[in-house]
Amino acid sequence: MGQDIDSLSLKELQSLEHQLDVSLKHIRLRRDQLMNESIATLQKKDKALQERNNLLSKTIKERARELPGQHSLEIFNSFNFSEMYGAPPPAENPTIPRWMLDAGF
């Protein structure tokens, strides 16, 4: 933790620094692994939600066609899903989810 290093020799300090460097590399590797796993999980969830959204949109369109008159289909086509979610629709098959880019990750 940095206390009691005044009594250490140069060689001991260099050894301690090397140990800290190795430990820091291990910490960063683990952090990166966890972040990559989290990104992969979020991408899977994003894909599942997009598929669900597509299915729901298809179901709404089919039901709108079953209703009499063109009015119901016009309502569906004018509906803005982006307003509902507060964000523009995601790009096709993004490597990193759009919300992560917007959030500065």
Distance CA 36, CA 45 (A): 14
pLDDT of residue 78: 60
Question: Which of 55, 53, 74 is CA-nearest to residue 65?
Answer: 74
Q: What is the pTM of this model?
A: 0.54
Q: Six-digit token pair at 61?
A: 């369109």
Range of the domain at 99: 10-103
pLDDT along the chain (105 residues), means of 10: 86 95 97 96 96 90 72 58 55 57 57
Return the pLDDT at 61: 82
Is 21 within the bounds of a domain? yes
Confidence (pLDDT) at 93: 47
The secondary structure of residue 31, as a DSSP letter, is: H
pLDDT for 87 equals 57
Q: Is 2 domain-assigned?
A: no
- Residues with Cβ within 8 Å of residue 87, at least 6 apart in sequence: 98, 99, 102
* Structural contact between residues 101 and 50, judged by C-beta atoms closer than 8 angstroms: no
pLDDT score, position 3: 80
* Total of domains in the chain: 1
